[in-house]
Structure 1
Amino acid sequence: MTSTVTDTFARDWTQWHEGKEASLASPHGFLSVTALAWLTAEPVAIEGVPGRWSAGARGVVVTVDEGEELLVDGVPVVGEHVFGELGLRESVLTAAGETAVEVAERGGRYVVRLRDPRSPLRLGHPGTPAYPADPRWAVGGRFVPFAAPEPTTVGGAFEGVQHVYDAPGTIEFELAGRPLSLRAFPGHGEGALTVLFSDETSGDTTYAFRSLHLVPDADGRVTVDLNRAANLPCAYTDLATCPLPPAENRLPLRVEAGERTPTTRGVARPTDNGAVLS
């Protein structure tokens, strides 16, 4: 590979990495999350979040008291507001002054998270360490669809949470002369796939597992670029509900490419009302 091609490869990777970092550390990115509460039928107040929140037959409901401010689609909430039922893995962002209040469905349950730009984790983020980009870790592969999507249940980074995905197929590729296969989940965007995996660096130089965003072409061909193996939010904070990889998605080699274990982490502390704070 010529030096020009290698330089272009490294430049493209740097642009990808910088874009991911910018999103992560944006004012309401995941490093800004400072509180999390799982909703039940009993209305609960969450520290720093306007209103009292519950989830039941009507879906998610909040009651905002006089003097509190919560904007839904730019409109102030007065008294009770019914969000209703949210779709699978759906998230809704509302505004409360400088903060954002996220309402989401995760693993068949509803959760509220406070996103505060003043989060110490966000303000002190030193950047995510990563291996130098190396074209040798970008290999050709192919998407092999199942006859029909296969429901796949995996655990979550947050204890007690399970996620179910309709896996459309597997990604097959070869590394160091070894044929490998990873079960894929639906991704974000038309034709996109998400692959969650671990390898022999997991828990050593990299977090317990990482993700890849892949978009096969019409013939199923896809570049498996492990330089873009990315941390999920749970690598940075306890206030994340990320899905775990399927058991079969452990690569039997050291993938010394992509993002490494973050050097700082937000640790959760429980409160009396069952919420957790950073």
Structure 2
Amino acid sequence: MGGHRFIGMRTQHQKLTRKCDIRGNIFLWAFKGVMDQNPSPFGHILLDQSFSPSCIMHRDTYLNKVLVGSEQGPMQLWTISTKKKIFEFKGWDSPITCCVSSPALDVVAVGCADGSIHVHNIRYDKELVTFTHSTRGSVTALSFCTDGKPLLASGGSLGVISVWNLEKKRLQSVVREAHDSVITSIHFFANEPVLMSSSADNSIKNNLHELWILLNFLLPEIFSSVETFDEWFQISGKMVLLDKLLPKLKKCNSRVLIFL
């Protein structure tokens, strides 16, 4: 595929692989495994010239369908089996930079270049909640928590990770300077409150929630609430967080050593 720069790839259980390039081409491959030696696509969809694709995703419950975001702002839903466009969402007056499926049926989160995050029901074309990420650059990565907590994590172009509470519709916590460059990927582990992120600075990191899980297991009487732990870190930073924790650890004669 010389001359094409691919912007996204998603796979589904029907063993199909899809890639979309900045020229508006969606290519379809039959994925037979990592050892498959046949790189030729079996299908191709050409988007309108006025629609420059910026991201592509497959919603698990939408058989043979993909969502394609654009640099112009609109988003389109396509059926790849018939190569037909089903619906076009008008968008949010800003280039779409990323899109991710949620655990809830018909719901996706869309990140935009203006720093806004839109949790949207694509079946009814209805906005559920909107968050503003503008002070931390454009939204470059999104991930829903799947362990039952109503959380959505977002990564930005300035290397900051934000965690949003979908139930309370507010910012839950912030990991400042999580990376030294744009965050390229962010992912909650399946059924775990553990968050992993990667960046253009060539690093992969875990979120503080993993530390809280360990501390909650070792000292549940102190670390009973992840929300309180997040607030300590968000408001105080590492050194003041230690000032809050050390007296509590000494009081219960704990010898746990904490690295932050």
Q: Structure 1-normalised TM-score?
A: 0.26
Which structure is higher in RCO with an 8 Å CA cutoff and minimum separation 6?
A: 1
Give the TM-score taking structure 2 as reference length.
0.27
